[in-house]
Structure 1
């Protein structure tokens, strides 16, 4: 876990100075009714709520009932009730995993969804699920969030697990915290436009 975070830190460069989020984990975990994986907690502490090259957004958990707050969450009811959203690359995926067990921690600018399948095992063992919009199906990856991102950026998957392969093998990837992005936008600076 720590190794994956260190590897990720060697791949991602902070864009701007405002990084990391201080989360009251006991309060958030009580509100969500579950603990969170340790690698994710380390990511949030080091990087926080923001985007990688404007292509992958990573969200943090926030204890609120406000549906307009962008945060870690379960899939919305419209997705849960849509039979097309229950397609898996594994033949028995819906029966084995089920979309109702997915806790979304990220999304891509290509409308892919990144989440954990919250099984009965400890959070550090949760499989990761990716809904690739291009394939219109969920694929399961047996690794943590940090390891998934490292493998994605290094091109270690046989096929790119997300719709946009522009980050695969790229160097100098930047992470921008949402607070810093808002500050820059106030100055008329849009870093992902360059």
Structure 2
């Protein structure tokens, strides 16, 4: 479901920043979260780094799973997704599910993009999107890079996000975070 090669399709649609990616201690992240991150996300961080797509969708920097005093970032947004999961609608295939959520992206429209990290194999993690407009989580059986490509190409039956800023755009800009 997720491969590092999925980033290649995205490269044709969204040029990486000139200052390159973000250096990440992946063994430390895997130890902290109790599992490795998907290969497409690792490659995305290597090529693009943490940042924002079209000044709309923030791709979060991986951070160790530890107490934090930050008000944003992967840990805080994962906690937001876990809290949100309890109180919102779910697509029929998600009813009764108890996914292990890890948030990797947040849209300006307050949508959350997460992995269901329940599987020990990160290649198999589907994307769960909380669409704030519909107040619902939906499942997408693809990895993070394929999800982004699908949004830009309008490859899904409907826009997964509550805002159409990226939907069917074809190309996008990416700006790396200063962190």
TM-score interval, normalised by the smaller of the two chains:
0.7 to 0.9
1:107 alignment partner, SS class: strand
- Alpha-carbon distance change, 172 to 136 in structure 1, aligned in 2, over 3 angstroms: same
Equivalent pairs counted in the alignment come to: 175
Q: TM-score, normalised by structure 1?
A: 0.82
Partners in 2 of 1:77 and 1:3 — Cα distance?
Answer: 30
Q: Secondary structure at the match of 1:13?
A: coil
Q: Say if 1:59 and 1:70, in contact at 8 Å, map to a contact too.
A: no
| Structure 1 stretches of 4+ moved >4 Å | none
Q: Which residue of 2 aligns with 1:187?
A: none
Corresponding residue for residue 84 of structure 1: 87
Task: Give 3-state SS (helix, strand or coil) of 1:10's partner.
Answer: helix
What is the correspondence of 1:56-75 to structure 2 with a 5 Å cutoff? 56-63=57-64, 64-68=66-70, 70-73=72-75, 75=78
Alpha-carbon distance change, 150 to 31 in structure 1, aligned in 2, over 3 angstroms:
same
SS, match of residue 28 in structure 1: helix
What is the match of residue 41 of structure 2? 40
Query: Are residues 19 and 167 of structure 1, via their aligned partners in 2, closer, same or farther at CA, if it must alter by over 3 Å?
Result: same
Q: Which runs of 5+ in 1 are unaligned?
A: 183-194
- Please say if residues 103 and 114 of structure 2, whose CA atoms lie closer than 8 Å, have aligned partners that are also in contact: yes
Listed as ranges, the gaps of 5+ residues in structure 2 are: none
CA displacement, residues 99-141 of structure 1 (integer Å, 9 cap, x when unaligned): 5x11100010000000001123401101110000010000001
Q: Which moved more, 1:119-128 or 1:153-162?
A: 119-128
Normalising by structure 2, what TM-score? 0.88
Q: CA deviation at 1:18?
A: 2.1
Q: Contact 1:130 / 1:138 at 8 angstroms: preserved in 2?
A: yes
How do 1:38-187 residues align onto structure 2 when only pairs under 5 Å count? 38-63=39-64, 64-68=66-70, 70-73=72-75, 75-76=78-79, 79-80=82-83, 83-85=86-88, 87-90=89-92, 93-96=94-97, 98=98, 101-179=100-178
Structure 2 match to 1:191: none
Cα separation, 2, equivalents of 1:81 and 1:7: 32
Q: 1:26 & 1:117 partners in 2: Cα distance?
A: 20
Structure 1 pair 95–177 and aligned structure 2 pair: CA distance change class (3 A): same
Select the structure of larger CA radius of gyration. 1
